[in-house]
């Protein structure tokens, strides 16, 4: 369009031209940005991969002391007294727990059962252990388990949550946010309950029960309670899996609660006629020997027929032959 | 107190009852203390279903359907009796769904502005629909088909929140909290912790709930709320059968409206926020059965053109003292003398033809439903009912599909039915073992059921754990487990498993093992233990199906046959 006037329209013409130029520049910028974004997104394109799982260095075993027994069997009426006496004979609680430690106590809180039904650890045994740890100055005592039934019911009906809290333990329900994916080497990657990764010392307090799959569930089988996810798969190779998990856990101390033993129809039980009051505690540092002693004493089964014990012994986790174990019996 | 203050009081009441409703809803869950509990675990508050127990529609239909009034439903008298005197105060002051509708009606909407809003709040003839719906529901209840639950407002609210809204919110909140944790920032982590602490007892569930048909029920609920953007409280005016029932009951109420034509400027502000669509404006009858007693008309009127009178004088139009019926026009130029007309319509204006049609429809429901194969002829194998449930005919005559049992189940085992119970049983509870199994010691569903469709039982009566039962007690059975041997690891894949046997909660276990020789893929002979079910011991809890590693279609599954609530749906010879 020809400008009709002279000087007045010149600046507007210039302004128009500048604006057109700016617009062109803007569009070029937008085009460049779009192209750049697309190229960047395209470069990121790759098949989705699973996140890296954290690795975990297993704890060191407690150094053996030739002057102390490796296993103490205590029998008596009061479960709390049994805990104290057996720890005394093993060298005292200070051998296992130092001041300022974060302790994880791993009882069996797997099933929605009352203490009399003996499907979970005796709450008095757990409570006494918590008390002893707090007495020597442990900074935090955590009590937890990945239950099979609804954890809220299990923690309540077993009596363990109340008894442990009363002694000052931090009772943690297994919620989704507490699980971390960990590379358990031979087992592969599994979601593991976090406290076992961060605790200074781990104390295993299982309850002695019948279980159709491995035959019994004692100390080493209790470690299935620290993993979540589809752990039912572990049933397909239960003996190897139990040893894999025991190798990962490496507790400082194991106390098998045989105060009430679920003799048959385990691991869930439900009938009081399946339970026998053996009023015994088996405490020690050799997890293989402890399981061997328990299966022989209560079910009269030759430990050599329990496949996971053989695998564990071959891997150096302990001794199966009870004659080579320094054991001490005490009646309270 | 001046009547114009009443809307403020009403708003306070609405908020109080809404909060109370949510407190009750959030406590219909197994949460809280970890105190040792060797006996029956009960919910922390008594009457967790108090809103349902006070619901007159639930009570009336329960009475019609079962010719009895279950337990706590006597509470409904606390609403019904005052309604006889005062009118539909429940709708305006108490109903939590009504409050939600009221809130959504208040939102700005293009279609509801100015004159259009005023016009939309006039009485409309489609408001009579809810009475026809009520007629259908009452008649069908009489014959034993309990559809009212689908449309009872409290039942609808609880069901929609339980199945869709709360799980969705729980998911969203957890996702936000997760992302805050994952930033690894101290400040944000602290914020997340604080939020989690605050919401733990309310919005957040211990376990993320998942429900079938969650999306459908959520969409229906949101649609009903969204309708308020077109018409204020559309549900309450057009659809709510409880509102209809209370409307009928309010015909004798002694709280009445009085309009003063001489005081009225015809500004129509009273219609601006009218909730019930009951025509508080002069010149037309006041529809008593529609009024929610929200008192917005009184609050909005700049003069005293409309007032409530208690007790009702029976004369709804008041003339000012010095006016004369035959005098000339009043200050606004309108004739003082009002042509005689009925100033208050105490009941709904129903057409007899439509009422008869509704009654006929209600009566037809039962024969039409029960003459299909869905009821008792082709037994649905997946119709596994909660423990304590009555026989199916009694169950369907009581279940109001409120969703209380769905909410309280700690294992997320109960879900609204789609086809399992036929069309008649839509949204009634069924056990879905793949999602959750029935915990032997738990009796929570019976504790919350307001109508006794799930009769309340104790752990001893359930008798799944011998330690907690009387000796010789026969357990309540939900069904029986069966093996799909082609999918079972030891049966067809030469692999050891028996997770099902481990989880079986009965003692002695209902699953027993038989050692068998199988040949594996290398041709080697190995021994595996193969599981079998003993139908005499199986209680149908579903723990085996839940635990089975073949998760997409379990190798062991529960079907309803063998359920103890049915005399006929059995496999085995029933000895005395």
Q: Which of B178, B410, B466 sits opposite A271 (nearest CB)?
A: B466
Decide if pLDDT at A89 tops 70.
yes
Q: Which residue has the higher pLDDT, B334 or B442?
A: B442
Half-sphere exposure of B82 (CA within 13 A, CB side): 12
Chain B residues touching residue A158 (CB < 8 angstroms): 36
Sign of CA dihedral B265, B271, B274, B278: positive
Answer whether A150 sits within 8 Å of B34, measured CB to CB.
no
To test the contact with chain A by mutation, choose from B37, B41, B180, B197 the residue with the greatest count of A C-beta atoms within 10 A, namely B37
Q: Which pLDDT tens digit goes with each residue over B97-115?
A: 999 999 999 888 887 788 8
Segment B220-237 shows an average pLDDT of 94
pTM of the complete model: 0.89
CATH code assigned to B480-559: 3.30.70
3-class secondary-structure state, position A141: strand
- The pLDDT of residue A278 is above 50: yes
B464 neighbourhood in chain A, CB within 8 Å: 270
Instruction: Report in angstroms the alpha-carbon separations of A312 from A188, A242, A286.
Output: 18, 9, 11
Confidence tier at A187 by pLDDT (50, 70, 90): confident
Flag if B181 and A177 touch (Cβ within 8 Å).
Answer: yes
CA of B411, closest CA in chain A: separation in Å? 7
Per the CB < 8 Å rule, is A268 touching B505?
A: yes
ipTM field = 0.87
A156/B499 touch (CB, cutoff 8 Å), yes or no: no
pLDDT score of A47: 84
**Residue bearing tokens 């069924």:** B430
Retrieve residue B27's tokens: 């406590």
∠ CA A307-A313-A314 to the nearest 5 degrees?
90
Residue of A181, A214, A268 to mutate for B, most B C-beta atoms under 10 A: A268
Contact call for residues B532 and B540 (beta carbons, < 8 A): no
- CB A265 to CB B34 under 8 A? no
CB contact under 8 A, B35 and A171: no
| Confidence band of B167 (pLDDT split at 50, 70, 90) | very high
pLDDT grade for B576, boundaries at 50, 70 and 90: low
Are residues B467 and A272, on separate chains, in Cβ contact within 8 Å?
yes
The answer to whether B411 contacts chain A (CB < 8 Å) is: yes
User: Best mutation site among B31, B35, B36 for testing chain A: the one with the most A CBs within 10 Å?
Assistant: B36
* Position B465 confidence tier, pLDDT thresholds 50, 70, 90: confident
Other CB atoms within 10 A of residue B142 CB: 18
| Chain B CB within 8 Å of residue A269 CB | yes
Specify the range with the lowest mean pLDDT, choosing from A134-143, B87-96, B254-263: B254-263
Q: 222-241 in A: which are within 8 Å (CB) of B?
A: 230, 232-233, 235-238
B297 touches B124 (CB < 8 A): no
Structure confidence by residue, pLDDT tens digits, A225-275 = 999 999 999 999 999 999 999 988 889 999 999 999 999 998 999 899 999
* Mean of pLDDT over chain A: 90
- Compute the nearest-CA separation of B281 from chain A (Å): 58
C-alpha angle B355/B356/B359, rounded to 5°? Answer: 90
Mean pLDDT calculated for residue range A3-22: 76
Give the distance from residue B278's alpha carbon to the nearest chain A alpha carbon, in angstroms. Answer: 51
Q: Which among B335, B357, B170 is positioned nearest to B262, based on CA atoms? A: B335
CB contact under 8 A, B206 and A175: yes
Phi-psi region of B403 (alpha: psi -120 to 50; beta: other; left: phi over 0): left
pLDDT tens profile B470-516: 777 889 999 999 999 999 999 999 999 999 999 999 989 999 999 99
B44 contacts chain A (CB < 8 A): no
Tokens 């487990």 correspond to B481
Q: How many CB pairs under 8 A join A and B?
A: 118
**What's the CA gap between A102 and A107, in Å, rounded?**
16
Instruction: Report the residue of chain A nearest B500, measured CA to CA.
Output: A232
Give the start-to-end residue ranges of the domains of chain B.
480-559
pLDDT at position B320: 42
CB proximity B520 to A under 8 Å:
no
What DSSP state is assigned to residue B250?
G
Number of CB atoms found within 10 A of residue A173's CB: 17
């Amino acid at each position: 369009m020809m400008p009709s006037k002279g000087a007045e329209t010149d600046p507007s013409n210039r302004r128009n031209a500048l604006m057109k130029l700016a617009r062109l520049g803007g569009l070029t910028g937008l085009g460049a940005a779009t192209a750049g974004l697309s190229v960047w997104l395209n470069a990121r394109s790759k098949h989705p991969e699973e996140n890296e799982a954290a690795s975990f260095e297993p704890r060191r075993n407690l150094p053996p002391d030739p002057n102390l027994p490796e296993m103490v069997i205590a029998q008596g009426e009061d479960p709390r007294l049994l805990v104290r006496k057996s720890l005394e004979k093993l060298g005292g609680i200070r051998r296992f727990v130092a001041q300022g430690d974060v302790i994880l106590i791993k009882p069996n809180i797997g099933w929605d059962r009352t203490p009399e039904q003996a499907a979970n650890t005796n709450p008095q045994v757990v409570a006494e252990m918590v008390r002893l740890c707090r007495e020597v100055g442990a900074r935090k005592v955590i009590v937890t388990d990945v239950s099979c039934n609804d954890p809220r019911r299990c923690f309540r009906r077993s009596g363990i949550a109340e008894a442990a809290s009363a002694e000052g333990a931090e009772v943690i329900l297994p919620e989704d946010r507490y699980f971390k994916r960990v590379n358990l080497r031979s087992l592969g990657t599994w979601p593991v309950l976090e406290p076992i990764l961060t605790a200074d010392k781990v104390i295993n307090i299982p309850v002695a029960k019948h279980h159709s799959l491995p035959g019994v569930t004692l100390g080493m089988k209790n470690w299935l309670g620290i993993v979540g996810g589809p752990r039912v798969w572990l049933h397909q190779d239960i003996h190897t899996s139990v040893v894999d998990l025991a190798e990962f856990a490496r507790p400082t101390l194991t106390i098998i609660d045989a105060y009430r033993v679920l003799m048959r129809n385990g691991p869930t039980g439900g009938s009081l006629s399946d339970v026998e009051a053996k009023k015994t505690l088996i405490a020690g540092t050799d997890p293989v020997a402890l399981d061997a002693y328990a299966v022989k004493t209560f079910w009269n089964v030759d430990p050599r027929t329990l496949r996971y014990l053989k695998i564990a012994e071959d891997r150096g986790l302990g001794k199966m032959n009870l004659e080579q174990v320094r054991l001490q019996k005490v009646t309270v | 107190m001046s009547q114009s203050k009443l809307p403020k009081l009403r708003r306070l009441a609405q908020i109080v009852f809404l909060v109370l409703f949510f407190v009750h809803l959030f406590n219909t869950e197994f949460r809280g203390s970890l105190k040792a509990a060797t006996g029956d675990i009960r919910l922390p508050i008594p009457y967790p279903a108090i809103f349902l127990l006070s619901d007159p529609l639930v009570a009336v239909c329960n009475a019609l359907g079962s010719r009895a009034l279950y337990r706590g439903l006597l509470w409904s008298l606390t609403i019904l009796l005052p309604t006889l005197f005062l009118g539909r105060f429940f709708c305006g002051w108490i109903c939590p769904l009504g409050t939600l509708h009221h809130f959504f009606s208040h939102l700005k909407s293009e279609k509801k502005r100015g004159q259009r809003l005023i016009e939309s709040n006039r009485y409309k003839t489609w408001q009579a629909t809810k009475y026809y719906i009520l007629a259908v529901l009452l008649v069908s209840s009489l014959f034993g088909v309990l559809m009212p639950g689908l449309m009872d407002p409290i039942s609808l609210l609880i069901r929609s929140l339980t199945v869709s809204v709360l799980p969705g919110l729980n998911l969203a909140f957890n996702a936000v909290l997760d992302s805050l944790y994952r930033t690894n920032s101290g400040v944000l982590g602290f914020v997340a912790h604080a939020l989690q602490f605050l919401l733990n007892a309310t919005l957040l569930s211990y376990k993320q709930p998942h429900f079938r048909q969650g999306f459908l029920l959520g969409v229906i609920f949101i649609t009903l709320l969204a309708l308020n953007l077109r018409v204020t409280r559309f549900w309450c005016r057009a659809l709510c059968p409880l509102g209809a029932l209370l409307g009928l009951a309010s015909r004798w109420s002694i709280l009445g409206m009085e309009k003063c034509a001489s005081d009225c400027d015809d500004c129509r502000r009273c219609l601006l926020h009218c909730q019930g669509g009951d025509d508080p404006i002069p010149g037309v009858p006041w529809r008593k059965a529609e009024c929610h007693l929200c008192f917005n008309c009184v609050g909005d009127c700049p003069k005293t053109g409309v007032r409530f009178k208690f007790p009702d004088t029976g004369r709804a139009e008041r003339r000012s003292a010095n006016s004369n019926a035959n005098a000339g026009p009043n200050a606004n130029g309108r004739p003082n003398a009002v042509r005689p007309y009925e100033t208050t319509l105490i009941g709904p204006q129903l057409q007899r033809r439509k009422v008869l049609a509704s009654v006929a429809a209600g009566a037809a429901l039962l024969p039409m439903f029960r003459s299909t194969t869905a009821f008792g002829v082709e037994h649905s194998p997946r119709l596994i009912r909660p423990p304590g449930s009555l026989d199916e005919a009694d169950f369907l005559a009581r279940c109001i599909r409120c969703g209380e049992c769905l909410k309280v189940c700690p294992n997320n085992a109960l879900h609204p039915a789609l086809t399992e119970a036929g069309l008649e049983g839509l949204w009634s509870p069924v056990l879905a073992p793949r999602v959750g199994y029935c915990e032997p010691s738990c009796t929570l569903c019976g504790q919350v059921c307001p109508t006794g469709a799930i009769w309340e039982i104790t752990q001893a009566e359930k008798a799944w754990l011998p330690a907690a039962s009387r000796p010789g007690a026969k357990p309540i059975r939900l069904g029986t487990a069966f093996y799909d041997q082609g999918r079972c690891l030891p049966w067809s894949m030469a692999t050891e498993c028996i997770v099902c046997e481990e989880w079986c909660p009965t003692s002695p276990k209902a699953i027993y093992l038989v050692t068998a020789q199988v040949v594996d893929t290398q041709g080697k002979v190995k021994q595996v233990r193969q599981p079998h079910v003993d139908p005499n011991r199986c209680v149908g809890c579903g723990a085996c199906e839940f635990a089975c590693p073949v998760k997409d279609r379990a190798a062991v599954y529960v079907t309803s046959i063998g359920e103890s609530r049915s005399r006929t749906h059995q496999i085995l010879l029933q000895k005395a």
